[in-house]
Amino acid sequence: MSVGVLFTQGLVTGEPRRVLAEILEQAEVADRAGFAAALTTEHKYSDEYFGSPLPLSFAIAARTERVRVGTAIAIAPLYNPIELAQDAAMLDQLSGGRAWLGLGAGYMPVDYSTVGVPWEDRARRFDETVRILRAAHGAERFSFAGDLYSFDDVAVIPRPVAADGIPLHLAAWTPGGLRRAGRLGDGWITNALMSLPTMTAMADTYRAAAADAGRSPHVTAVRFCWPYTSREAALEKFGDTALAMARTLFDYGAITDLPGVGSSAEITLEEFVRDRFVFGTPDECVETIRRFSDDAGVDDFLMVFRYPTGPHHAAVVEAMELFAGEVMPHVSAPAVPA
């Protein structure tokens, strides 16, 4: 099992140049402390998230030496697939083979309308984009004929470092998306706030699809995380921002497994601490991680230590270092340089 870090900041965090500098510093902390990855995400129209995950990944790659760099996730249907293949391969070359590409279809129509891509054919566009990336990274030249895209005898330059291309992990939480992840992906990425029982059921669906496709399954769980030595201080630094983020994601439509909850105002922090967050003393964090591993078969984790609204940078660095020093030695295999 490995543990990486995922960055989810945007304009509401603060002045963009300062926030981006803090992300790069946190990526350096992750690199030094032994985390396996320092990845980015996106929405195209949101104050809570920056909308250019690959350029930020290039900056992270330039400031780090060991961690995997890339996305979890980029909204694949919003990109020209050849340009996405080229940018990912360039990231892989510049980072010395450390690129890791998490892709999703997205769940907010405004992301699509912002860049002028039809919402209605997103599943088909996602499917074809993943297949094109496989072809582009796996051969010196390739052709492709689909319903939406057609390419004849084209090449992606440069190609990735490894002959078999860059790992492609697919996010999903619908039956069709889970089947797609099993059929086309190197792994499945959960969303950040699904409950443990929901994750377990979806993991079973995904693994069955991977088995049908002859692929080895791999589950990567995204979790909001806050280790602490003082519960009172943790609730002060983490509690309000965590609850605000959970309510925001509920309003976005990203949380669908809260039976009986009709509005975001009804959500409580206790609900999420119980089986959605990795929150507590180092020993409690270890127990939670092992429970997700045992029950849902999680192979790797991506931890979110900072929401768009906080905690502040110094507290995040402190939490990352506490987690690396007192949690990871009990749950994580030693990271291997790319």
Percent of residues, the chain, with pLDDT higher than 90: 82
Report pLDDT for 337: 40
Domain layout of the chain by residue ranges = 2-237+275-331
Q: Residue 239 in contact with residue 313, Cβ under 8 Å?
A: no
Q: Which fold has domain 2-237+275-331?
A: TIM Barrel (3.20.20)
Report pLDDT for 336: 42
User: Tens of pLDDT along 8-54?
Assistant: 999 999 999 999 999 999 999 999 999 999 999 999 998 989 999 99
pLDDT of 334 above 60: no
Phi, psi of 2 (to 5 degrees): -120, 160
Least confident of 116-125, 167-176, 245-254: 245-254
Report pLDDT for 283: 97
Residues 6+ apart with CB under 8 A from 85: 132, 133, 136, 137, 156
Q: How many CB atoms lie within 10 A of CB 208?
A: 14
Distance CA 327, CA 321 (A): 10
Q: How many CB atoms lie within 10 A of CB 243?
A: 18
pLDDT bin (cut points 50, 70, 90) of residue 309 is confident
pLDDT bin (cut points 50, 70, 90) of residue 333 is low
Q: Residue 213 in contact with residue 286, Cβ under 8 Å?
A: no
Report pLDDT for 68: 98
Q: Mean pLDDT, to the nearest integer, of 158-177? A: 95
Q: Mean pLDDT, to the nearest integer, of 175-185? A: 96
Q: Residue 154 in contact with residue 142, Cβ under 8 Å?
A: yes
pTM above 0.85, yes or no: yes
DSSP string, 205-228: HHHHHHHHTT----EEEEEEEEE-
User: Tens of pLDDT along 94-136?
Assistant: 999 999 999 999 999 999 999 999 999 999 999 999 999 999 9
Q: In Å, what is the CA distance from 328 to each residue of 90, 146, 167, 170, 333?
A: 31, 44, 23, 25, 8
| CB neighbour class for 251 (10 Å; exposed up to 12, middle 13-18, buried from 19) | exposed
Q: Mean pLDDT, to the nearest integer, of 203-215? A: 98
Q: Mean pLDDT, to the nearest integer, of 228-233? A: 92
Q: What does the DSSP 8-state code read for residue 265?
A: G
pLDDT bin (cut points 50, 70, 90) of residue 236 is confident
pLDDT of 338 above 80: no
Residue 276: which of 190, 208, 216, 192 has the closest Cα?
Answer: 192
User: Tens of pLDDT along 52-67?
Assistant: 999 999 999 999 999 9
Q: Mean pLDDT, to the nearest integer, of 67-95? A: 98
Distance CA 242, CA 306 (A): 9
